[in-house]
Structure 1
Amino acid sequence: MKKDIDIPKVEKVYVAAVKVYNEAFKVDEWNAYLINDRDEAIEMALIVSKGFDKNKETSTIRHKLEHLPAKSFAKIEFIQEEVLALNNQFQVTFFSEGKMYEKKYVFRQNSVNEKALREISIIPNKGILAE
């Protein structure tokens, strides 16, 4: 039965950790973003995030984005500095072109840091793409 379900491969959709300046608090902070680099919009994106390692696990957080236009991005959540020492997983499910897509993105422990910042398509700030 499970073999009969076709879930297409996710391409040109990314999760990135981006360091941005928060005007309200006057500090730099890490935020997770969903990037749609596709030529089609994404509908009803469901994102489930959590941090974990062998000994610890954060609470599970759920997010929903109704619509993410082609070639755009949206903020998922703020990432606390303490959580960056854990693996951070983002399970993303969305609809596009009448099909359901699903992919798991992971930032490995301590992989989100200043030295790892790179240019990312669509987003004007430097960031780190999840695996």
Structure 2
Amino acid sequence: MIKDLPENNVKDIAVAVALESENAESKTWHVYLINLKKEAIENVLITSKGYGEKNGEPVKTSTLRHMFPIVAKGSYKQIELIDEQTFGLNNEYWVSYYIGTQIYDKKFIFLPESIVDSNFIKLPVVNKPGVMIL
């Protein structure tokens, strides 16, 4: 039964959208997985997708899958590029990983219009401006 499963709380793992570069014509954005733990995480699987409404019509992006064999302690991995046009959608990142034989998973969702300058911080480890969900 579900109540018999151990409660594996995800802590010290973050997903962040960072501004990589900008010029007069465009901005480049990347999504990162940040491991703030004092130990490595292994067999990291991330699915990403966008969904919501645009002009009153339902919109869904493709579901993408990413895999990293290991993410060292206090480090990060680039998950993907993200297009500014998707910032008006829910951008979901479902992260699953192992520590030893224990599996952990958590869903990180950037809500529409949450990736804006007023929400920017200096991202830990990545050292770039962006928005982070911990």
Same fold (TM over 0.5): yes
Q: Which has the higher strand share?
A: 2
Q: After the TM superposition, which segments of 4 or more aligned residues of structure 1 sit over 4 Å from their partners? A: none
- Distance in 1 (CA, whole Å) between partners of 2:26 and 2:72 is 29
Partner of 1:50 in structure 2?
49
Deviation of residue 67 (structure 1)?
A: 0.6
The AA in structure 2 aligned to 1:85 is: G
Match in the other structure for 2:66: 63
**Secondary structure, in 3 states, of the residue corresponding to 2:60?**
coil
TM-superposed CA distance for 1:84, in Å, is 0.9
Q: In the alignment, which residue of structure 1 is the partner of 2:20?
A: 20
CA contact (8 A) 1:7 1:100 kept: no
Residue 27 of structure 1, CA deviation:
5.3
Unaligned runs of 5+ in 1: none
CA distance in 1, matches of 2:96, 2:12: 14
- Normalising by structure 2, we get a TM-score of 0.88
Which TM-score applies when normalising by structure 1? 0.90
Deviation at residue 106 of structure 1 after TM alignment: 0.6
Of 98, 104, 108 in structure 2, the residue corresponding to residue 105 of structure 1 is 108
2:33 counterpart residue number: 34
CA distance in 1, matches of 2:29, 2:127: 14
Q: What is the deviation of 1:120?
A: 2.1
Q: The residue matched to 2:85 in structure 1 has which SS?
A: helix
Q: Residue 122 in 1 paired to residue 121 in 2?
A: no
**Could you tell me how far apart the structure 1 residues matched to 2:72 and 2:26 are?**
29
Comparing 101-110 and 53-62, the one that deviates more: 53-62
- Deviation at residue 56 of structure 1 after TM alignment: 1.1
Give the match's secondary structure for 1:53.
strand
- Structure 2 counterpart SS, 1:112: coil
Could you say what the CA RMSD is over the residues aligned between the two structures, in angstroms?
A: 1.7
Identity %: 31
